[in-house]
Amino acid sequence: MAADPSAEYHARLARWRERLAAASSLDARLAAARLIVFGAALALAAAVWQMAWSAWLLLLPVAAFIALAVRHDGVIRARDRAAALVAFYERGLARIEDRWTGTGAAGERYRSDHHPYANDLDLFGPGSLFQLLSLARTRSGEDTLAGWLTAAAPPAVVVERQAAVHELTGALDIREELSLAVGRSATSVDAESLAAWGEAPPLLAPPIMRWIALAVTAVTLTAAAYVWRGGHEVTLLFAIAAQIAFGLPYGRKVERMLHAADGPTRDLTAVLQAVVLLERGQFSSGRLALLQRQLHETGPQASTAINRLRRILEMHDWQHNMAFAPIAFLLMWSIHLAWAVEAWRRTHGTHVRVWLRIIGEFEALASLSAYAFEHPADPFPAFTDDGRACFEGTGLGHPLVPAARMQANDVSLTAERQLLVVSGSNMSGKSTFLRTVGINAGLGLAGARVRAASLRLTPLSIGATLRIRDWLQ
């Protein structure tokens, strides 16, 4: 682990800024080169037309343009990667330097007037604990982190999370890749709707109809081959007529089903690389190893399954190509792809919910590990199980208050001292002191490091009434 998180972030930020500048410059040069080659191809085509030159000469600019396009595509991806990582480390430095307020997701949708402490302890909203902590790029990741902050876990679970966070704290490369692995649209993914799509009953007829469809297509291809070898065209016409009669009742249902699968496929593709990252990781802590094992227990590699679904939907797009449309018609392309989607859902549909839960927990642990990395002096709380209620903290500070203005205090609640009465003049810091106790308890029971010199506690329930709103009704 880096001794100085700020120095590590600055070094990586400088490196990625250099790569961004280089990729941007090369991007501009390649764009200009493609334009020049395109213009040269047009000029050469005119010369071939006017002067009867060999048309084979056109292969030179075409090959050059294709080579430039392939190279340009790689440069654009490298530029976008560098830009994303520049933003990633700039935000990390903003957190370390207490400039983070207003950056990142605020978790507004998790606010609730009925929760016993979320509003009082500033868990959600601008400048909230959620905004400070969350690096999640998926809705599942945000949901998981929000759930941990609003519901204290049993000590055994907290200790498991602490071990996972500790392992990931120094794994900056993993957090870097995770920030890139999840697509930008992933936060709009409705995990419940996606899981419901995977678990929904089959939309097409019994599976035997798939084999009948394959047989009909095989007959049509055989008839086409027969005609090509000199046979009578009537054979092919009868085969096509039989194919139309078979496919007509399925037409609208098939197209509706394939279009319904388009959104879930895009959603799963958005988290594909995060799945790959977890599949290929080498983890020693129990919780991370369990997540990886649960991912593998869903059958063949989840990434392979998601890629297969993505390819099926890409193949559906082929039939919109005018050149391929006649072939798609001859092969009953849509019907076979619809059956392939049904087979995919039958095999993997119940796994979708598990995949999203696992990725969500992985992201939540990564978020807590980033906070741990950026606050190396902060400890994990220790849990005591001697049967006596305890909350003993030294040097407790508020994580949302800038370090330059933060006042640290000691707090001791034990079997001998079960109540503290906090009094003082207005604006003297009473509420901030109480929030400091509560928010550190919430952090510790979520599995995170706490803003303190040390903290020892037993399992407890948090409640707060620091924001009282009078209402005459």
308 and 419, same domain (yes or no): no
32 and 78, same domain (yes or no): yes
Residue 237 lies in a domain: yes
Mark out the alpha helices in 386-448 (DSSP H runs): 430-446
388 and 338, same domain (yes or no): no
Which domain, by its residues, includes 277? Answer: 200-346
Buried b / exposed e along 364-401 (16+ C-beta atoms within 10 A): bbbbbbbbbbbbeebbbbebeeeeeebbbbebbbbbbe
Residue 173 lies in a domain: no
Specify the pLDDT at position 82.
94
Which of 328, 346, 364 represents a domain boundary (last residue)? 346
Residue 406 lies in a domain: yes
Instruction: List all residues 6 or more positions away from 408 whose beta carbon is below 8 Å from its beta carbon.
Output: 395, 396, 397, 452, 453
Specify the pLDDT at position 201.
86
Look at strands 454-457 and 391-396 and give their pairing.
antiparallel
Q: Is 190 helix (H, G, I), strand (E, B) or coil?
A: coil
303 and 424, same domain (yes or no): no
Residue ranges in the chain modelled with pLDDT below 70: 1-3, 182-189, 205, 226, 231-232, 239, 244-249, 251, 321-323, 330, 468-473
410 and 317, same domain (yes or no): no
320 and 439, same domain (yes or no): no
Please give the Cα distance from 22 to 225 (Å, whole number).
Answer: 55
231 and 341, same domain (yes or no): yes
292 and 416, same domain (yes or no): no
Which of 321, 346, 371 represents a domain boundary (last residue)? 346
Specify the pLDDT at position 190.
73
Residue 309 lies in a domain: yes
Specify the pLDDT at position 235.
72
- Sheet of strand 391-396, all strands in order from the earlier edge strand to the far edge: 382-383, 454-457, 391-396, 409-413
Number of domains in the chain: 3
Contact predicate 291/358, CB 8 Å: yes
* CA dist list (Å): 405 to 191, 408, 432: 40, 10, 12
334 and 395, same domain (yes or no): no
342 and 453, same domain (yes or no): no
319 and 418, same domain (yes or no): no
Residue 301 lies in a domain: yes
Specify the pLDDT at position 72.
93
220 and 302, same domain (yes or no): yes
Specify the pLDDT at position 292.
92
Residue 101 lies in a domain: no
Residue 264 lies in a domain: yes
Instruction: List all residues 6 or more positions away from 13 whose beta carbon is below 8 Å from its beta carbon.
Output: 86, 89, 90, 93
Instruction: List all residues 6 or more positions away from 363 whose beta carbon is below 8 Å from its beta carbon.
Output: 135, 136, 137, 138, 140, 141, 144, 145, 178, 182, 274
Which of 96, 115, 147 represents a domain boundary (last residue)? 96
Report which of 43, 77, 83, 75 is spatially closest to residue 60, judged by C-alpha positions. Answer: 43
Specify the pLDDT at position 471.
58
Residue 185 lies in a domain: no
